[in-house]
Structure 1
């Protein structure tokens, strides 16, 4: 009974906020931003938020978050930031003309405060290799019982809503429009702001010319956490042997698992004792991604972004057959949109890394690499992706 009372109060309160948001006049200069369930400061919204702060004095950019420590950090940097449920946070969301997210408006921001007159621009979090949203889960839509239908009717703000998306070219525009069931003209071809780090030298981290050869391993998300463990345990991750090989060739290996997966505890403890293998758990890999000499992945869409770096990419689809069978379907035939040689275990991978380190980059940036660049990014002009996005939004 108590839970039902709480539910009724919550629906009534959010309904009131939604009514007020519908009535609130919108200010075209107020733009609100949020990312990753309101908890993190990262990804496309972060880069675009900072660009707007720096280059658009006519816009009032507001970062919205449920993380009070993050809010304090942003305020110390001179940014406007408010708690998602605070008076100011709700006020600015109600008044905003645009809201920028990378997941969905009902998880990155406070959905009841965003009326239909606030345009939701989903900056998303990467070009998809694996099928996403309706292409992957559309068949799982189920009919709700009477209680669920009543709650939905009283909570119109929770329905998935994306007024606009962004893409990198016409090919990816078509893919994303289909996945989100949006008219293709609502998918803006601007490129992803987070990829500015690959095309704007002022954003690229300083690289030590006399430092080790740095490679980063970024496998895709596994539905079950033991899937990430298997990538190490089932494919010959001999930590002592690998550390010795890396040390002999002055190579540093950084491991970054998908945020929903965690490394095996025993492996973490062993790696903590090494100086040439480590885990990266930073909030935003795009703060440092451009400093790496090589990317290693399996099915993660980050490689689409890394193509802009003109640096080598090694593919390690250890479990390719099993992944195709048990995980998500892909938009493309894997072999058509990836680069060889493949590595199917850690011995092969480390051998390929060593060979790569001792070979000029030009040997790996071959015709297929350049074809994939064009296939997924088109021809890049001199403008940053953030600037292209500003222009596109201001035309809406």
Structure 2
């Protein structure tokens, strides 16, 4: 509720403060990471648009120091400079949360809030989660309480509320199919959805090199955020059997869990001693996604991203019944997304892998990613250039 109060106060202040069309601010993943669509668009602008004053905002000191060493413009935490720049920014970009990726409450009400999001959703998100009633989390309940505060303010200050809370919100989409999901999830209209493709995928269309026999397993998160979860053992992952299979097939497996989940320490220790299975430590999977011949996932948006860049993608719906009941409903039918033999645990995946070697590009992939040209960042800048002209 404090954020809502600060936002309202600074919205009033911003009525007399103009925005600067040359100031752009970027943030990602609660202000803690330097990754995702925000990172790649930020770097594109630094390289191609010297007339723009682009800044990265972070609350993480390691990210701040990293960007300072690279001599990239960066804002660190709550400071007078950060507040002033948020108040004059023409557009701010984020991938998870406007308030948490950036200094949302301090942003000018005339500023464009551009949600680059972090992937095409297979599982339901935002308002669609509330409507479904499955997977409701505390954060959504808090958002509902905050909305009651907004209604109270609106009732008491009808005249200035409309001016002070005028929304200029946009969201990035990869296709018309995905746009429909985003509109219902975020309560947006057609004009607010920018169909341009994802900056984080642009560099993959310039090279299709990969390492033969290299596999990535990248599942979506389950349960609570920042929770410990043995998502491997639960679905039949026995390290010795997995190693024997990888040895026979001359394969190597990297595992990258969602940032919201972590493995038990004893499981991590066993895998760290393996010569065929690795726990991937990179913060940004999109720096290395090109290296893999196969991508194995469940209900993660990486399914669509890997399809878009031509990877052999295995949709392994481990624990789908439990997931649909306790975590999230899905926007799409798994059988239609992956018209091949389904593997519901690691034992079945090993048995079915011979067939997966023959995987070809699924025609439906074009429904979920319309631009395979590596120019998404360029398109976004062209769209922004037309605003307010």
TM-score for both structures, normalised by structure 1: 0.85
**Which ranges in structure 2 are unaligned for 5 or more consecutive residues?**
none
- 8 Å contact kept, 1:197–1:290: no
In 2, Cα distance between equivalents of 1:65 and 1:245 = 42
Other-structure match for 2:241: 241
In 2, Cα distance between equivalents of 1:30 and 1:20 = 18
CA deviations over 1:327-348 (Å, ceiling 9, x no partner) = 2111122211224222122122
- Mapped pair 1:289 → 2:289: yes
SS at match of 1:253: strand
Other-structure match for 2:382: 391
Other-structure match for 1:178: 184
In 1, Cα distance between equivalents of 2:4 and 2:305 = 41
Residues 146, 321 of structure 1: alpha-carbon distance in 2 compared, 3 angstrom cutoff: closer
In 1, Cα distance between equivalents of 2:114 and 2:232 = 38
- Mapped pair 1:192 → 2:209: no
In 1, Cα distance between equivalents of 2:254 and 2:12 = 49
Residues 146, 82 of structure 1: alpha-carbon distance in 2 compared, 3 angstrom cutoff: closer
* Higher RCO (CA 8 Å, separation ≥ 6 residues): 2
Other-structure match for 1:4: none
In 2, Cα distance between equivalents of 1:263 and 1:45 = 28
- 8 Å contact kept, 2:55–2:73: yes
Other-structure match for 1:31: 24
Residue range with higher mean Cα deviation, 142-151 or 50-59: 142-151
Residues 152, 306 of structure 1: alpha-carbon distance in 2 compared, 3 angstrom cutoff: farther
| Cα-Cα RMSD | 3.2
Pairing 1:1-396 to 2, within 5 Å after superposition: 17-138=10-131, 144=145, 163-201=169-207, 207=210, 213-224=213-224, 229=229, 231-353=231-353, 356=356, 359=357, 363-366=358-361, 369=362, 371-378=363-370, 380=371, 382-396=373-387
In 2, Cα distance between equivalents of 1:375 and 1:169 = 7
TM-score for both structures, normalised by structure 2: 0.86
How far apart are 1:64 and its partner, in Å?
0.8
CA deviations over 1:56-83 (Å, ceiling 9, x no partner) = 1111101111112211211211210011
In 2, Cα distance between equivalents of 1:313 and 1:295 = 5
How far apart are 1:320 and its partner, in Å?
1.9
In 2, Cα distance between equivalents of 1:12 and 1:70 = 29
Q: What is the total number of aligned residue pairs between the two structures? A: 374
Residues 233, 50 of structure 1: alpha-carbon distance in 2 compared, 3 angstrom cutoff: same
Other-structure match for 1:3: none
- 8 Å contact kept, 2:11–2:109: no
- 8 Å contact kept, 2:17–2:88: yes
SS at match of 1:99: strand
**Which ranges in structure 1 are unaligned for 5 or more consecutive residues?**
1-6
SS at match of 1:82: strand
